[in-house]
């Protein structure tokens, strides 16, 4: 990992700034010294084109004749520095003619389908559950620097997935991947936003390629909220249930807001993740009727949880609605509907026991404002799904190499990216434990090994296990040479006696199936008549064998706080009032970890997106003791 961010990199490059639409839907003409789509008329490939339904929709680098959403890039200027670039933007003129009607004829519906079945019950009710769009808002926004060296394109970019970025650039420019080098400096947070490489980044790369100029673009906070949005789903549900608490069937009419067009990677994949998780841990028949609609919003992309928070919000709110209507304990309702669970998800019985115990304790302390959620978070999708079903080049594996260098340092290389979640420290600790040796340097975002980066809570499952296997093999090699002390002596005194292969190991790993972690949360909310305050939050997760327990707890607590902001404050439809939790709003968080080993070599489970996925539901359920909660963020009364 490099210890500087993109914006810290100095060099002789010029700065790009974007002319953006200030209209949600309009024809436009642009005049001045400005680069437009005609200067970079490349086709952006789609990685996940679910069922081929997006093939007719173009992903424009820059808008052509119509601006499709507020903030869409219309043109680009190049300045000697950021101040010069801003001055040149002032010289560009844009004229608009407002449009109405659908973006795509006849009705903006891009894709529709139905699946599943349901059964009637003794009782029924209907709800409209809305999950508004929100922004990942990492500390560091996007950034890219493009330079030219010896006929090669060198791209320094803040990304979660360097391999995927290189593939998309290669396909877009029709340029051999060997002519493209992706370098990942330190990444100041991602939360899914940097999983995709978006139009602005690709436009800068394309413009640099066409002009031969070395270029830089750093995203501003005001730009980020227009370029990075997730969630955006509406669920119109009808729930059938019996008087004993058993839910017999659910009809869920889902409207998925794709935005003006899909992103190259995400496409509409968050929707499919929602569908896969909607049943959660329960034995319930669900019929879904899905509409994917285009809108005058930015393209919807990845946001931490990637469709799971939406699914758990829907099913867990339903559980509490049934509980309230029948006046049955909310945990009893969940137990009555629990399905048979055969997957590798941990100790379900113990999680339920502790959920019951802690819930009873909170009920004695607080009379109202207590919400629960029960869920299983699956991490690390496999090649069988990603390549076999989704027809993508992206696999579910990760390769990691270890090399004992001549100066006695063990170099670890992985394409997974350290974006604040601490994977560098985790891999270092794994190697340290296996080798009983602590001179270790971890290089994340490396293109020297195969892999696909950090997303879907996969880093420790894939790269962690690959590192473990490589470290074990390297230890065997070192032991055959007389142990680490003897090898270090040879490296200092007679290195010619050692062959490189004796000091090197590379292993690849992916699980046979996604690895689950059974989890539950209890949120305690107080209401002062004006505002809601999250006072306490309990979470229990079966994390398997912890690679680094402190890092795990940090990820868990951070996810809960991020969900708190999502439930109470964050709505991109109110960009000038978009609030993010501060230290003042942080509740008391109690984290309980179970350690049932998973089926992987290291026994690990992924937890990066676990807590945020369940916390929306538990916090919303707690607030529903005071007001009805059918929308995220909540609508005040």
Q: Quick: pLDDT tens for 390-404.
A: 556 789 999 999 999
150 Cβ contact list (under 8 Å, min separation 6): none
pLDDT tens, residue by residue, 522-541? 999 999 999 999 999 999 99
Rounded to whole angstroms, how far apart are CA atoms 359 and 370? 8
pLDDT tens by residue, 325-362: 999 999 999 999 999 887 789 999 999 999 999 999 99
SS (H, E, C) 366-432: CCCCEEEEEEEEEECCCHHHHHHHCCCCCCCCEEEEEEECCCCCEEEEECCCCCCCCHHHHHHHHHH
Model confidence at 100: pLDDT above 70? yes
Please, what's the b/e burial string for 338-372 (b: 16 or more CB within 10 A of its CB; e: otherwise)? eeeeeebbbebeebbebbbebbeebeeebeebbbb
Q: How far is CA 215 from CA 207, 222, 241, 306, in A?
A: 8, 21, 60, 32
Q: What is the pLDDT of residue 304?
A: 98
For the chain, which residues make up each domain, given as ranges? Answer: 1-304, 342-378+514-637, 397-509
Beta bridge partners of 147: 154
Give the pLDDT score at 47.
Answer: 83
Mean pLDDT computed over every residue of the chain = 95
Percent of the chain with pLDDT over 90: 89
Per-residue model confidence (pLDDT) at position 627: 96
Q: How confident is the model at residue 635 (pLDDT cuts 50, 70, 90)?
A: confident
Which string of DSSP letters, residue by residue, matches 509-561?
E--SSPEEEEEEEEEEEEE-SS-EEEEEEEEEEE-BS-S-HHHHHHHHHHHHH
Q: State the average pLDDT over residues 367-384.
A: 95
Region 509-516 average pLDDT: 96
pLDDT at 282: 98
pLDDT digits (tens, 9 = 90+) for 406-441: 999 999 999 999 999 999 999 999 999 999 999 999
With beta carbons less than 8 A apart as the criterion, state whether 111 and 53 touch. Answer: yes
pLDDT digit string, tens, across residues 565-578? 999 999 888 877 88
pLDDT at 388: 63
What residues form DSSP beta bridges with 244? none
- Identical fold, 1-304 and 342-378+514-637: yes
Q: What is the DSSP string of 618-629?
A: HHHHHHTTTS--
CB 435 within 8 A of CB 474: yes
**Tokens describing residue 338:** 């629990």
314-318, 344-348, 388-392, 475-479: segment of lowest average pLDDT: 388-392
Distance of CA 276 to the CA centre of its chain: 16
Residue 533's alpha-carbon distances to 114, 628, 632, in angstroms, are 39, 16, 16
E strand residue ranges, 549-610: 588-594
Gap between the Cα atoms of 277 and 312, Å rounded: 7
Provide the 8-state DSSP code for 563.
Answer: H
Mean pLDDT of 15-43: 98
Give the angle subtended at the CA of 56 by the CAs of 34 and 302, to the nearest 5°. 75
CA dihedral 429, 434, 439, 441 (to 10 degrees): -50
CA 310 to chain centre: 13
The pLDDT value recorded for residue 342 is: 73
Q: Are 382 and 600 in contact (CB under 8 A)?
A: no
Within a 13 Å sphere around the CA of 253, how many CA atoms are in the beta-carbon half?
6
CA pair distance 244, 274, nearest whole angstrom: 28
Cα–Cα separations (whole angstroms), residue 6 to 3, 60, 80, 143, 297: 10, 25, 18, 6, 28
Q: Is the per-residue pLDDT at 54 higher than 80?
A: no
CA triple 336-342-347, angle to 5 deg: 75
Beta strand ranges found along 90-160 (DSSP E): 93-98, 109-116, 123-131, 143-149, 152-157
User: How far is it, in rounded angstroms, from Cα 476 to Cα 463?
Assistant: 20
Q: What is the average per-residue pLDDT within 252-266?
A: 96
Written out in words, the top-level CATH class of the domain with range 397-509 is alpha beta
> Tell me, what's the pLDDT at 392?
67
pLDDT at position 50 over 60: no
Chain centroid offset of residue 267 CA: 13
* pLDDT score for 88: 98
> What does the block give as tokens for 319?
């559980």
Taking residues 292-313, report their average pLDDT.
97
Average pLDDT value for residue range 365-378 = 97
Contact 266, 46 (CB under 8 A): no
Q: Provide the token pair at 382.
A: 């496999």
Residue 224: both structure tokens together: 């980020």
Q: Find out if CATH 3.30.365.10 is the number for domain 342-378+514-637.
A: yes
Q: Which CATH class is domain 1-304?
A: alpha beta
Q: In this model, does residue 124 exceed pLDDT 90?
A: yes
Residue 49 makes CB contacts below 8 A (sequence gap 6+) with 55, 267, 391
């Amino acid at each position: 990992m490099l210890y500087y961010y993109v914006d810290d990199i100095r060099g002789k490059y010029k700065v790009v700034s974007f002319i953006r639409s200030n209209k949600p839907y309009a024809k436009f003409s642009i005049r001045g010294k400005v680069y437009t789509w005609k200067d970079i008329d490349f086709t952006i490939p789609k990685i996940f084109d679910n069922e081929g339904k997006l093939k007719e929709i173009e992903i424009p680098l820059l808008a052509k004749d119509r601006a499709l959403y507020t903030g869409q890039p219309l043109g680009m200027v190049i300045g000697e520095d950021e101040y010069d670039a801003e001055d040149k933007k002032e010289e560009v003129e844009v004229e608009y003619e407002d449009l109405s009607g659908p973006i795509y004829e006849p009705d903006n519906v891009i894709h529709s389908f139905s699946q599943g079945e349901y059964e009637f019950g003794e009782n029924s009710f209907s709800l409209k559950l809305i999950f508004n769009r929100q922004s990942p808002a990492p500390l560091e926004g996007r950034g890219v620097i493009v330079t030219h060296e010896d006929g090669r394109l060198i791209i320094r970019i803040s990304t979660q997935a360097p391999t995927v970025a290189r593939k998309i650039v290669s396909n877009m420019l029709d340029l051999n991947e060997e002519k493209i080098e992706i370098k990942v400096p330190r990444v100041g947070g991602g939360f899914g936003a940097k999983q995709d490489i978006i139009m602005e980044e690709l436009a800068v790369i394309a413009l640099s390629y066409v002009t031969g100029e070395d270029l830089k673009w750093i995203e501003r906070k005001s730009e980020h909220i227009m370029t990075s949005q997730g969630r955006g789903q509406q669920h119109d549900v009808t729930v059938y249930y019996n008087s004993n608490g058993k839910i017999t069937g659910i009809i869920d009419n889902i409207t998925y807001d794709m935005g003006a067009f899909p992103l190259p990677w995400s496409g509409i994949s968050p929707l499919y993740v929602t569908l896969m998780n909607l049943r959660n841990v329960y034995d319930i028949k669900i019929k879904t009727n899905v509409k994917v609609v285009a809108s005058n919003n930015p393209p919807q992309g990845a946001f931490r949880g990637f469709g799971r928070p939406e699914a758990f919000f829907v099913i867990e709110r339903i559980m509490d609605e049934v509980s309230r209507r029948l006046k049955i304990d909310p945990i009893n309702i969940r137990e009555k509907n629990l399905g048979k669970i055969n997957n590798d998800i941990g100790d379900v019985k113990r999680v339920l026991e502790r959920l019951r115990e802690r819930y009873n304790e909170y009920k004695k302390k607080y009379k109202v404002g207590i919400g629960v959620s029960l869920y299983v978070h699956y991490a690390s999708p496999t090649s069988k799904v990603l390549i076999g079903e989704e027809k993508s080049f992206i696999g579910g594996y990760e390769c990691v190499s270890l090399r004992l260098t001549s100066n006695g340092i063990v170099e670890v290389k992985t394409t997974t990216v350290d974006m604040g979640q601490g994977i560098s420290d985790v891999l270092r600790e794994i190697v340290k434990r296996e080798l009983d040796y602590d001179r270790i340097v971890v290089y994340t975002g490396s293109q020297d090994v195969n892999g696909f980066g950090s997303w879907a809570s996969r880093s420790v499952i894939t790269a962690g296990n690959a590192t473990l296997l490589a470290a074990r093999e390297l230890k065997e090699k070192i032991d055959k040479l007389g142990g680490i002390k003897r090898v270090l002596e040879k490296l200092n005194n007679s290195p010619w006696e050692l062959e490189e292969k004796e000091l090197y190991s590379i292993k690849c790993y992916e699980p046979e199936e996604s690895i689950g972690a059974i989890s539950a949360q209890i949120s305690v909310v107080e209401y002062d008549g004006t505002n809601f305050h999250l006072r306490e939050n309990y979470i229990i997760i079966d994390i398997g064998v912890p690679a680094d327990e402190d890092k795990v707890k940090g990820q868990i607590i951070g996810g809960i706080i991020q969900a708190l902001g999502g439930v109470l404050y964050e709505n991109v439809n109110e960009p000038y009032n978009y609030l993010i939790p501060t230290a003042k709003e942080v509740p008391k968080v109690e984290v309980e970890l179970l350690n049932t080993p998973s089926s992987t070599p290291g026994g690990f489970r992924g937890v990066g997106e676990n807590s945020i996925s369940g916390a929306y539901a538990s916090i919303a359920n707690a607030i529903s003791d005071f007001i009805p909660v059918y929308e995220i963020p909540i609508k005040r009364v």
